[in-house]
């Protein structure tokens, strides 16, 4: 199976070659951008050193400093003429232009660019492949699939998280749970974390809730709040799960009375 | 004379203390800015490395790469979900905000800020001091003044250039010439140049012209064009000086005929 599952969920080989070209162009452009920005910051650092030297000289000289007319001139120059140079370096960051150029190339079809739907399609295709060949999640994320015959790339915790997020958006909570659990497993192994534990716990709670396991959703949310007490949605989610549990308890009781 | 020439050309000692406070605040804020930008660029570099790894892996794997559905997913993820992170880092440069904050502090008088007129005043004051005490330009620029009694800061070629530019704006071409010549002397000594030779030559030509020495203005302009053939104003200036010389020749002749 060298060109995907053949069910139309993957874009064609030619499409992917186009995306590879885009990716390769992006690497060149990003390196240029990083180079430009590094030079800009280096120039700025040199100027800041001069500002520091004047300040240090002033503090060391005390009253004598302002009595010297050469110092007055240099101090005023630092805050007028030289400051314009500093200001230009600060405002001359090429970020907006860089992004605008790329957006133009995308909009004019110079560079092929996948959409969020393409990402969802690729994730869905992978899930179908996993189901069809009954591939083990852990092996798959480590690049081993088709009974250990093929070696692919290895996934990061963030890659597994993204797979889980896409399947969650498709209402496929079974795959959400197993891929978020795999994300957590890899998170615990990663030295340089690619995602936060709170993000994984939040999605695990979402999928537990959507699968009808509200107690588990609440437990996972509490775990998340222990880690991240100022989580922007955590306390709201907790309250919602608690209210749902209460209502459910009430409705169980009611059903019990009714039936 | 410990507080300037006393002729009101220098701002008061208290004023200068205020400017020193501004300068010191600026050093802190600039260091914060440089730190933030350095961290932003470092984060970006890490992400670019990941983009490079994917590209290199794709080139090494050849046709096999696009046949692997995990690769397709990762490639599409790099250009959608991950790209958003890169784009945020690029657009999240805090330069505009940084300058806007400082401008606000200046406009609300939180930080004292000198104007271009203050710079001109400080330069004029220095020239007066130089004339009054007949201070030698070279010694003054090296921090030695009042017959070697006092040591001040040393000036860079750019500082001397700025003094020359301010006096030029005041129509004081005598001081323009001597300070631009001092700028050139220091330029030749500087390892890390603080100004371009062309900039100094252009002002030397201006002041020669304004002092009536058009042949010298033309000679200096030719020297500048040798160094910098694509100088934005050089060829226009040259043409102007040549035409002026021609007309003057004509008017000399005419006067000769008339008188």
CB nearest to A116's CB, from B37, B55, B80: B80
B74 touching chain A per CB within 8 A: yes
- Token pair of A144 as six digits: 């081993």
Q: Give how far Cα B17 sits from Cα of A63, A221, B20, B117, B159, Å.
A: 9, 56, 5, 18, 21
Instruction: Name the A residues in 30-69 with CB < 8 Å from any B CB.
Output: 30-31, 33-34, 37-38, 41, 44-45, 47-48, 51-52, 54-55, 57-58, 63-69
Contact check, Cβ <8 Å, A51/B27: yes
A169 touching chain B per CB within 8 A: no
Q: What is the pLDDT of residues B126-167, one digit of tens each?
A: 899 899 888 889 988 988 766 666 677 889 999 999 999 999
Strand, helix or coil for residue B110: coil
A115 touching chain B per CB within 8 A: yes
Residue of B119, B141, B223 whose CA lies nearest to B186: B141
Q: Are B196 and B231 in contact (CB under 8 A)?
A: no
pLDDT exceeds cutoff 50 at B247: yes
* Torsion on CA atoms B83, B89, B92, B95, rounded to nearest 10: -140
Neighbours of A28 (CB within 10 A): 11
Question: Residues in chain A, how many?
Answer: 259
Contact check, Cβ <8 Å, B20/A58: yes
Contact check, Cβ <8 Å, B64/A2: yes
Confidence label for B104 from pLDDT (cuts 50, 70 and 90): confident
Maximum separation of any 2 CA atoms in chain B, in Å: 97
pLDDT exceeds cutoff 70 at B107: yes
pLDDT exceeds cutoff 90 at B207: yes
Q: What is the pLDDT of residues B11-31, one digit of tens each?
A: 677 788 888 888 999 999 999
Chain B CB contacts of A125 under 8 Å are: 69, 72-73
- Residue A258 has a pLDDT of 46
CB nearest to A73's CB, from B31, B44, B126: B126
- Residue B112 has a pLDDT of 80
Radius of gyration of chain A (CA): 28
> Each residue's pLDDT tens digit in chain A (259 positions)?
233 333 334 467 778 888 888 899 999 999 999 999 999 999 999 999 999 999 998 888 877 887 788 888 898 998 888 998 898 888 877 787 888 888 888 887 777 888 888 889 889 988 998 998 888 899 889 887 666 666 778 899 999 999 999 999 999 999 999 999 999 999 999 999 999 999 999 999 999 999 999 999 999 999 999 999 998 899 999 999 999 988 887 666 655 444 3
- Token pair of A54 as six digits: 């004047």
Q: Are B27 and A51 in contact (CB under 8 A)?
A: yes
The mean-pLDDT minimum among A221-235, B56-70, B77-91 falls in: B56-70
Q: Are strands B150-151 and A144-145 parallel, antiparallel or unpaired?
A: unpaired
* Helices B13-61 and A13-61, packing angle to 10 deg: 160
CB nearest to B72's CB, from A16, A93, A99: A16
- Residue A146 has a pLDDT of 61
CB nearest to A114's CB, from B10, B80, B87: B80
Q: Are B176 and B168 in contact (CB under 8 A)?
A: yes
Report DSSP state, residue B3. B
Instruction: Tally C-beta pairs within 8 A across A and B.
Output: 230
Distance CA B179, CA B175 (A): 6
Contact check, Cβ <8 Å, B99/A90: yes
pLDDT exceeds cutoff 50 at B9: no
* Helices A81-91 and B13-61, packing angle to 10 deg: 30
Residue spans of the domains in chain A: they are: 17-113, 117-258
Chain B CB contacts of A73 under 8 Å are: 119, 122-123, 125-126, 159, 163
A144 touching chain B per CB within 8 A: no
Buried/exposed B20-58: b ≥16 CB within 10 Å, e otherwise = bebbbebbebbeebbeebbebbeebeebbebbbebbeeb
Chain A CB contacts of B124 under 8 Å are: none
Residue with tokens 């695990």: A204
Contact check, Cβ <8 Å, A67/B2: yes
Contact check, Cβ <8 Å, A80/B118: yes
CA distance A127 to chain B (A): 10
- Separation of CA B116 from chain center: 14
- Token pair of B91 as six digits: 């657009």
Helix H or strand E segment including B16: helix B13-61
Contact check, Cβ <8 Å, B38/A34: no
**Mind spelling out the 3-state secondary structure of chain A?**
CCECECCCCCCCHHHHHHHHHHHHHHHHHHHHHHHHHHHHHHHHHHHHHHHHHHHHHHHHHCHHHHHCHHHHHHHHHHHCHHHHHHHHHHHCCCHHHHHHHHHHHHHCCCCCCCCHHHHHHHHHHHHHHHHHCCCCHHHHHCCEECCCCEECCCCCHHHHHHHHHHHHHCCCHHHHHHHHHHHHHHHHHCCCCCCCHHHHHHHHHHHHHHCCCHHHHHHHHHHHHHHCCCCCCHHHHHHHHHHHHHHHHHHHHHHHHHC
Residue of B148, B207, B200 whose CA lies nearest to B176: B207
Chain B CB contacts of A163 under 8 Å are: 73
pLDDT exceeds cutoff 60 at B256: no
Strand, helix or coil for residue B195: coil
* CATH number, domain A117-258: 1.25.40.10
Q: Give how far Cα A149 sits from Cα of A139, A140, A152, B73, Å.
A: 11, 12, 10, 20
Chain B CB contacts of A140 under 8 Å are: 70
Residue of A241, A203, A34, A24 whose CA lies nearest to B58: A24
Distance CA A145, CA B129 (A): 84
Count of CA atoms in the C-beta half-sphere (13 A) of B24: 11
Neighbours of B1 (CB within 10 A): 13
Radius of gyration of chain B (CA): 28
């Amino acid at each position: 199976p060298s060109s995907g599952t053949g069910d139309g969920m993957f874009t064609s080989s030619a499409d992917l070659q186009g995306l590879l070209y885009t990716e390769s162009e992006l690497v060149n452009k990003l390196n240029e951008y990083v180079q430009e920005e590094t030079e800009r910051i280096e120039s700025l650092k040199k100027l800041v050193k001069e500002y520091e030297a004047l300040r240090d000289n002033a503090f060391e000289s005390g009253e004598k400093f302002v009595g010297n007319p050469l110092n007055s001139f240099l101090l005023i120059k630092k805050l007028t003429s030289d400051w314009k140079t500093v200001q230009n370096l600060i405002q001359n960051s090429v970020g907006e232009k860089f992004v605008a150029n790329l957006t133009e190339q995308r909009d004019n079809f110079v560079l092929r660019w996948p959409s969020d739907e393409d990402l969802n399609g690729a994730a869905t295709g992978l899930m179908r492949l996993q189901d069809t060949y009954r591939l083990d999640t852990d092996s798959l994320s480590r690049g081993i699939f088709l009974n250990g015959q093929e070696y692919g790339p290895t996934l990061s915790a963030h890659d597994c998280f993204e797979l889980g997020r896409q399947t969650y958006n498709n209402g496929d909570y079974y795959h959400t749970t197993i891929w978020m659990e795999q994300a957590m497993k890899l998170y615990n192994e990663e030295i340089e974390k690619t995602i936060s534990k709170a993000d994984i716990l939040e999605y695990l709670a979402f999928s537990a809730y959507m699968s009808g396991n509200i107690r588990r959703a609440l437990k996972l949310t509490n775990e998340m709040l222990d880690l991240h007490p100022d989580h922007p949605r955590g306390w709201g989610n907790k309250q919602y799960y608690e209210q749902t549990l209460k209502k459910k308890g009430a409705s169980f009781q009611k059903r019990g009375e009714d039936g």
